């Protein structure tokens, strides 16, 4: 027992002689500002913002820090980052400028406050900031100069009508009302609800007619009914849909007959908000209402939506399989477009979505994605034929149902340069004389193949260099799922993927990528904001020209109390614009003249798909018949609809 006590005593003495070095590997205390980015966007309507100081290191010292506004630090940042921020002057106050830390304390905050009504008047653009720095500190502690500037970017909000308009067809029966959903957008979200009022400005009817060369009439009193309460953009949200009622009885005369008209134009504007400082855009939404007895209109035949779960499950399609589609006068075709050996193409009736069948896939070759993409094309005699591809490396299988979908397809093997060749393609022309364009996912090059009389051929002309394929040299970084869409009779194409978008024109020069193939150069022009759009299809009906495509709504995630409630990538739409003679003239900015829009995630625009697509892709297909136009539009994981124009 004595021996044990002696050992314990020795250990105790030894322990008392060891120096406490727990903090030896930690740096001395320093002060810095807490932020993720130097520029911190703040809504002017928040009325206040905290600035937090961090004391990091051993935590062994008490400290004080004094905050100040430093236009000089802001100017240094402007010079280094090539920005043009300017300091907001004298419209705010600090709750205090000095914070004190006990040795164990880590963060302390002060608040800046301002009157939103006053500050919103002096914000001229998006460059107004309050530049805050730590200007003084107590002795024996350092300031981390790498984190000693925060620019509180005080932003006003502009509310606007999200599109330039749409076209509907009036109901034929006086007892049956119509409905239109108008999207109202906010560029900078607010920390409070914003109520927005819409109004009709009939003084703009003559402006529209003069600009468009039309003679449309204004709407009769009481036809367009706007909710008196307006629409409310919720705090943290960037948009809302306002539902207008079209009261058909207002179109009828006392004798019970509908008034004689071709088209009514309804200029809608934002007339007011309940927050005086919010900027109201002067953008006008022109609602065109065609008579049911004159002009073409578009209506939905049927839709399948993912508001409560993936719509494709009812058709035996796994999540993600609905990446692209094809259409003829009878069927919508959907490939089983997920990785693996399954060879399956499902056909859904254009008239009855409960009526389905499977395409004959005898002879399919197993690939990375065995059934990757489908299209229908003109055989060269005015009838349509289904074609499809698999996706694989080095070569991919291509299929043509020359004898109908009940019979096995003709199978071709096409060489490719990149991984997952055949993943998605576009076909320009007919089966007698056409060109197949394949864009390689994650690849810089696209590949094109020439078809004549139902077979892939070598061409001796300059564009194909005596081979069955040539490469198209894209700008580095042009990745994602998508493809080339050629405007009829023109060299210019729209190139869109899930990641990028551009106008592309083929050039006569080429580069050698090193695999024995010439890669033809392209001239590229920007097409801003068109990523996540797909399936640009030009068509003519009753002498009028149109372009149809699908698009995902790409606004920011919507948050409530800091929690993401949903992302607007859970909404998508079919868009039909008037064709003005080229893709650029029809699709760029204010040139875009929207004829029709419809949501794909539900019957109305405010509907939300249950979950955003894991990998965004979509598609659109158009078939023009003698008495109508059929349009199929879908976006992966969001929904599929068939529309008709007649």
| Overall pTM surpassing 0.75 (yes/no) | no
Structural tokens at position 459: 């061409």
Q: Is the pLDDT of residue 463 over 50?
A: no
Q: Is the pLDDT of residue 424 over 90?
A: no
Cα separation, 508 vs 371, whole angstroms: 34
Q: Is the pLDDT of residue 25 over 60?
A: no
**pLDDT for res 469:** 64
The string of pLDDT tens digits covering residues 270-294 is 999 999 899 999 999 999 998 988 7
* Residue 329 near residue 384 (C-beta atoms within 8 A): yes
* Residue 570 near residue 554 (C-beta atoms within 8 A): no
Hey, CA dihedral for 513, 517, 523, 529, is it positive or negative? negative
* Residue 537 near residue 579 (C-beta atoms within 8 A): no
Closest CA to 173 of 252, 75, 286: 252
403-412, 478-487, 575-584, 608-617: the lowest-pLDDT one: 478-487
**pLDDT for res 604:** 81
Closest CA to 403 of 389, 422, 383: 383
The string of pLDDT tens digits covering residues 598-608 is 999 998 888 88
Structural tokens at position 46: 């928040």
The string of pLDDT tens digits covering residues 491-502 is 788 888 777 788
Closest CA to 34 of 153, 155, 152: 152
Locate tokens 């001229």: which residue? 124
**pLDDT for res 416:** 76
* Residue 641 near residue 300 (C-beta atoms within 8 A): yes
Cα separation, 603 vs 302, whole angstroms: 10
The string of pLDDT tens digits covering residues 56-100 is 887 678 999 999 999 999 999 999 999 999 999 888 999 999 999
Cα separation, 20 vs 23, whole angstroms: 8
Cα separation, 414 vs 484, whole angstroms: 18
CA distances from 452 to 374, 375, 458 (A): 20, 18, 10
User: What integer is the mean pLDDT of 171-193?
Assistant: 92
Cα separation, 124 vs 126, whole angstroms: 7
Q: Is the pLDDT of residue 103 over 60?
A: yes
**pLDDT for res 10:** 34
The string of pLDDT tens digits covering residues 341-393 is 999 999 999 999 999 999 999 999 998 899 999 999 999 999 999 999 998 87
The string of pLDDT tens digits covering residues 533-551 is 999 999 999 888 999 999 9
Going from the N-terminus, what domains does the chain have, and what CATH number goes with each? 30-155 (2.60.40.1740), 158-290 (2.60.40.1740), 298-645 (2.120.10)
52 forms beta bridges with: 109
Cα separation, 634 vs 312, whole angstroms: 11
- Is the model more confident about 68 or about 308? 68
| Residue 472 confidence class, pLDDT cut points 50, 70, 90 | low
Q: What is the mean pLDDT of the chain?
A: 86
Cα separation, 265 vs 257, whole angstroms: 20
Q: Is the pLDDT of residue 564 over 80?
A: no
**pLDDT for res 555:** 67
Q: Encode 6-34: b = buried (16+ Cβ within 10 Å), e = exposed.
A: eeeeeeeeeeeeeeeeeeeeeeebbbbbe
| Residue 611 confidence class, pLDDT cut points 50, 70, 90 | confident
189-198, 478-487, 528-537: the lowest-pLDDT one: 478-487
Q: How many residues does the chain have?
A: 646
Locate tokens 């070598």: which residue? 458
225-234, 296-305, 602-611, 620-629: the lowest-pLDDT one: 602-611
103-117, 277-291, 480-494, 567-581: the lowest-pLDDT one: 480-494
Name the strand (E) or helix (H) holding 126: none
- How does DSSP classify residue 316? T
Q: If you count DSSP H runs as helices and E runs as strands, how many of each does the chain have, helices first?
A: 5, 49
């Amino acid at each position: 027992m004595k021996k044990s006590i002696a050992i314990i005593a020795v250990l105790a003495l030894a322990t008392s002689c060891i120096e406490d070095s727990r903090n030896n590997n930690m740096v001395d205390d320093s002060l810095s500002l807490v932020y993720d980015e130097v520029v911190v966007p703040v809504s002017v309507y928040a009325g206040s913002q905290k600035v937090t100081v961090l004391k990091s290191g051993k935590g062994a010292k008490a400290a004080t820090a004094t905050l100040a506004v430093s236009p000089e630090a802001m100017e240094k940042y402007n010079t280094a980052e090539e920005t043009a921020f300017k300091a907001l002057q004298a419209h705010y106050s600090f709750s205090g400028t000095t914070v004190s830390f006990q040795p164990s304390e880590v963060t302390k905050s002060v608040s800046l406050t301002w009157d939103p009504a006053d500050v919103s008047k002096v914000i001229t653009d998006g460059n107004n900031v309050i530049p805050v720095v730590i200007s003084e500190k107590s002795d024996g502690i350092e300031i981390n100069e790498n984190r000693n500037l925060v620019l509180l970017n005080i932003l006003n909000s502009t509310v606007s009508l999200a599109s330039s308009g749409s076209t509907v067809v009036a109901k034929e029966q006086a007892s049956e009302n119509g409905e239109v959903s108008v999207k109202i957008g906010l560029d900078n979200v607010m920390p409070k609800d914003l109520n927005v009022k819409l109004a009709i400005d009939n003084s703009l009817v003559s402006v529209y007619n003069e600009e468009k060369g039309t003679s449309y009439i204004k709407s009769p009193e009481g036809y367009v009914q706007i909710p008196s309460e307006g629409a409310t953009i919720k705090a943290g949200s960037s948009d809302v849909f306002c539902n207008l009622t079209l009261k058909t009885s207002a179109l009828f005369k006392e004798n019970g007959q509908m008034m004689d008209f071709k088209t009514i134009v309804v200029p809608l504007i934002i007339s007011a908000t309940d927050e005086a400082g919010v900027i109201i855009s002067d953008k006008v939404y022109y609602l065109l209402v065609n008579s049911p007895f004159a002009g073409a209109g578009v209506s939905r035949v049927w839709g399948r939506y993912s508001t409560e779960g993936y719509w494709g499950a009812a058709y035996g399609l796994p999540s993600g399989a609905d990446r692209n589609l094809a259409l003829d006068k009878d069927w919508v075709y959907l490939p089983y477009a997920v990785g693996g050996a399954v060879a399956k193409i499902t056909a859904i009736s254009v008239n009855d979505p409960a009526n389905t069948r499977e395409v004959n896939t005898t002879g399919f070759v197993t690939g990375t994605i065995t059934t990757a993409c489908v299209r229908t094309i003109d055989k060269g005699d005015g009838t349509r034929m289904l074609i499809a591809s698999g996706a694989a490396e080095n070569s991919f299988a291509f299929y043509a149902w020359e004898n109908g979908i009940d019979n096995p397809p003709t199978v071709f093997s096409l060489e490719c340069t990149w991984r997952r060749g055949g993943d998605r393609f576009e076909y320009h022309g007919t089966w007698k004389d056409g060109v197949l364009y394949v864009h390689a996912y994650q690849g810089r090059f696209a590949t094109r193949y020439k078809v004549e009389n139902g077979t892939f051929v070598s061409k001796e002309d300059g564009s194909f260099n005596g081979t069955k394929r040539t490469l198209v040299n894209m700008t580095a970084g042009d990745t994602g799922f998508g493809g080339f869409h050629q405007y009829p009779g023109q060299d210019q194409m729209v190139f869109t993927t899930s990641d990028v978008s551009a106008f592309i024109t083929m050039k006569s020069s080429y580069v050698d990528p090193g695999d024995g193939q010439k890669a033809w150069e392209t001239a590229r022009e920007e097409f801003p904001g068109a990523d996540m759009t797909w399936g640009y299809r030009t068509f003519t009906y009753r002498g009028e020209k149109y372009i149809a495509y699908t698009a995902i709504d790409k606004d920011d995630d919507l948050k409530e109390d800091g929690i993401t409630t949903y992302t607007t990538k859970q909404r998508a739409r079919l868009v039909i614009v008037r064709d003005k003679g080229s893709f650029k003239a029809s699709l760029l900015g204010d040139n875009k003249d929207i004829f029709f829009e419809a949501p794909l995630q539900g019957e109305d625009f405010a509907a939300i798909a249950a979950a955003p697509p894991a990998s965004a892709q979509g598609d659109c297909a158009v078939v023009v018949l003698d008495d109508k136009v059929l349009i199929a539009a879908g976006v992966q994981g969001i929904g599929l609809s068939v529309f008709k124009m007649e």
